A and B are shown apart, each in its own frame.
Chain A
């Protein structure tokens, strides 16, 4: 059974860069036609797609966040990561990593999510 697990600092100061990692187990991150993505959900609000990556390194970003986001993959560790720079309180959210069926952003496996709070 495929499992995804997010890890991150939990608390980040404003203007800093947050880094999150998603570890994939029970399957290979290098599987054909599966993409890997990050989605976030501010407290009490809806879902927002952040970025996707293919094991080859091809990246796809939400235009509204693209200037601050970097997604990367480490196939040797079966992990992919997210960096979000210049964070503000508006970036406080539960961050989920998930697997996407193809490039069309259909997320069939999700991690449990990790709460990231931006506060001084």
Chain B
């Protein structure tokens, strides 16, 4: 059960769009539509932003969207705002009642 692969960093200017990838295998990301994305600001607990690949919990701005193709899931943040600067983690169900997180991506708003 290896961690999902995310780029260490991503960046964009206010108003732009940025996409963060999350690559797994056919045993996790590719095998189930149970990919989630979490936002974590420094010193805070993670916050669920996307679940089941593309669903947004109540209260999450529609600037945040998720998708998946094969073994790679993606989080897109449109209309970047200063408060979007945070660490982002993906996670996936990996079968047999197990889960795995990605290594995290630090998003910088330039």
Contacts and interface: CB of A to CB of B under 8 A. Distances in A.
Interface of A: 39, 46-49, 52, 60, 62-64, 96, 101, 103-108, 110-113
Interface in B70-110: 89, 91, 93, 97-104
A49 B101 contact: yes
B97 A52 contact: yes
Contacts of B98: 49, 60, 62-63, 105
A110 B102 contact: no
A106 B34 contact: yes
Interface of B: 1, 3, 32, 34, 36, 38, 45-48, 51-52, 57, 89, 91, 93, 97-104
25 contacts: A39-B46, A46-B89, A46-B104, A47-B89, A49-B98, A49-B100, A52-B97, A60-B97, A62-B98, A63-B98, A64-B1, A96-B45, A96-B46, A101-B51, A104-B34, A104-B93, A104-B99, A105-B93, A105-B98, A105-B99, A106-B34, A106-B36, A106-B51, A106-B91, A110-B45
B104 A103 contact: no
Given A108-B51, A110-B46, A113-B45, A46 B1 contact: no
Nearest to A63: B1
Contacts of B47: 110
B34 A47 contact: no
A49 B47 CA distance: 15
B45 A111 contact: yes
B49 to A, nearest CB: 11
Tell which of A47, A48, A63 has the most Cβ of chain B within 10 Å. Answer: A47
Nearest to B51: A106
Contacts of A48: 101
Contacts of B104: 46-47
A58 B64 CA distance: 34
Nearest to B57: A108
A63 B101 CA distance: 14
Nearest to A58: B97
